[in-house]
């Protein structure tokens, strides 16, 4: 390698996981930025499609690129269970295993672990759970175990192990979750040593603003995390309840110079208002899951393609959409037929459209922020029938 190549590589590495703010909207707290990673830059605000088990269901990497995907997710819990992090590492890491060579984020798997409910046991040291969705074996994770798995998978960004309390929950239960998540964040930070991977901390605290701020303060004190996830929302509460604490947390208290990632949220209107209060990154299984149920996002609101009213409908899913499905001649009548016949192509076409819909929504949001017109963008969105799809 030449000296010039070495210097260039060193310069690129120095920029990994830095976050540049490109524009801030004067009428809201929205901002446009760029997150730098070893596998490419991520423009924000951004929606991240979810590839839970190493694949976004029904969509191959070339299709994801065609749709405009900049970064996608995979799930640490599921990949550790099958095929196992050791095999993924043997195969060259998650990028090579999936044949997705753009940025990847892996969550901690904590949400999936704690969804096992009565089969989960918590201690200060870690968590023991029964993998009832696999072979029923008992598995124990410490924060150090979780970091070992994440580093073996090799995504560009991984998340700390945390406890995500559902809603409703008692204050004492949420407070304990904050305490555990904070202790585990310190241990994850100490255990994580892979230079080409960023570790994000996670702010917990339920709907209690003081607990949210306690969690954030602890993360800031225990290490220099290059970004922050915001967990514990969209876990049963209504959207008004969520934004009562989310809006001030993001707009007034989160560090300005680091990306803010609202975890597990993918409803279009929530994305629009999340950006308004300063959120940069979102993920959710919603676009592909609803596609498999026969539903499409649209400017008219969500369409249930199982309905007989689409039998003779010559229109595309959304006349204003420029995705490959809507511009490719596929009619509502045809997709209705595929859905009713349970043809795989129906789910694939709807997944393509739904993923594109959210990616394009965030692209247009970014353009509005750069123009300084995001407040108008929100007002126009809220006037659409689609805005009522909470």
CATH of the domain at 121: 3.20.20.105
Q: What is the pLDDT of residue 281?
A: 98
The reply to whether 277 sits in an annotated binding site is no
Q: What is the pLDDT of residue 9?
A: 45
Domain span including residue 189: 15-284
Options 25, 156, 280, 283, the catalytic residue: 283
Q: What is the pLDDT of residue 135?
A: 95
pLDDT less than 50: residues of the chain: 1-10
Q: How far is CA 44 from CA 32, 51, 52, 108, in A?
A: 5, 20, 22, 22
Q: What is the pLDDT of residue 302?
A: 96
pLDDT in tens, 253-269: 999 999 999 999 999 99
pLDDT in tens, 26-38: 999 999 999 999 9
The closest of 205, 203, 200, 201 to 177, measured between CA atoms, is 205
The reply to whether 204 sits in an annotated binding site is yes
Quick check: is 115 in a domain?
yes
Q: What is the pLDDT of residue 11?
A: 61
Options 107, 156, 280, 318, the catalytic residue: 107
Total domains present in the chain: 1
Quick check: is 379 in a domain?
no
Quick check: is 19 in a domain?
yes
Q: What is the pLDDT of residue 388?
A: 87
Quick check: is 315 in a domain?
no
The reply to whether 232 sits in an annotated binding site is yes
Quick check: is 75 in a domain?
yes
Quick check: is 278 in a domain?
yes
Is position 283 annotated as part of the catalytic site? yes
d(CA 161, CA 149): 11
Quick check: is 149 in a domain?
yes
Helical H segments across 68-130, by residue range: 76-81, 85-90, 94-98, 110-114
Q: Are 201 and 192 in contact (CB under 8 A)?
A: no
Is position 156 annotated as part of the catalytic site? no
Quick check: is 308 in a domain?
no
The reply to whether 215 sits in an annotated binding site is no
Phi/psi for 196 (5° steps) reads: -95, 20
């Amino acid at each position: 390698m030449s000296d010039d190549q070495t210097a260039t590589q060193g310069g690129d590495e120095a920029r990994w996981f830095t976050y540049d703010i490109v524009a801030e909207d004067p009428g809201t707290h929205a901002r446009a930025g760029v997150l730098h990673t070893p596998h490419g830059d991520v423009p924000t605000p951004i929606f991240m499609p979810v590839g839970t088990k190493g694949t976004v269901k029904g969509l191959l990497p070339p299709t994801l690129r065609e749709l405009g995907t900049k970064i996608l997710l995979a799930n640490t819990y599921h990949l550790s269970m099958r095929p196992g992090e050791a095999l993924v590492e043997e195969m060259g890491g998650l990028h090579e295993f999936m044949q997705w060579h753009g940025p990847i984020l892996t969550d901690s798997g904590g949400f999936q672990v704690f969804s096992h409910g009565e089969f989960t046991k918590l201690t200060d040291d870690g968590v023991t759970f029964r993998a009832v969705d696999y072979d029923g074996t008992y598995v124990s994770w410490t924060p150090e175990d979780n970091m070992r798995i994440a580093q073996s998978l090799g995504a560009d960004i991984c998340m700390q192990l945390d406890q995500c309390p559902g809603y409703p929950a008692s204050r004492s239960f949420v407070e304990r979750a904050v305490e555990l998540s904070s202790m585990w964040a310190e241990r994850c930070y100490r255990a994580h040593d892979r230079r080409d991977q960023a570790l994000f901390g996670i702010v917990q605290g339920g709907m209690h603003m003081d607990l949210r701020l306690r969690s954030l303060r602890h993360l800031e004190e225990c290490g220099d995390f290059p970004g922050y996830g915001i967990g514990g929302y969209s876990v049963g509460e209504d959207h008004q309840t969520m934004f009562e604490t989310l809006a001030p947390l993001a707009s007034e208290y989160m560090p300005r110079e680091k990306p803010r990632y609202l975890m597990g949220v993918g409803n279009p209107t929530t994305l629009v208002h999340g950006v308004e209060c300063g959120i940069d990154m979102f993920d959710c299984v919603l676009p592909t899951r609803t596609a498999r149920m026969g539903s499409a996002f649209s400017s008219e609101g969500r369409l249930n393609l199982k309905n007989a009213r689409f039998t003779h409908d010559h229109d595309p899913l959304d006349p204003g959409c420029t995705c490959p499905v809507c511009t490719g001649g596929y009619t509502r009548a045809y997709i209705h037929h595929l859905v009713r016949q349970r043809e795989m192509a129906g789910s694939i076409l709807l997944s393509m459209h739904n993923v594109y819909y959210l990616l394009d929504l965030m692209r247009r949001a970014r353009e509005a922020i750069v123009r300084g017109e995001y407040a108008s963008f929100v007002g126009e969105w809220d006037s659409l029938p689609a805005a009522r799809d909470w």
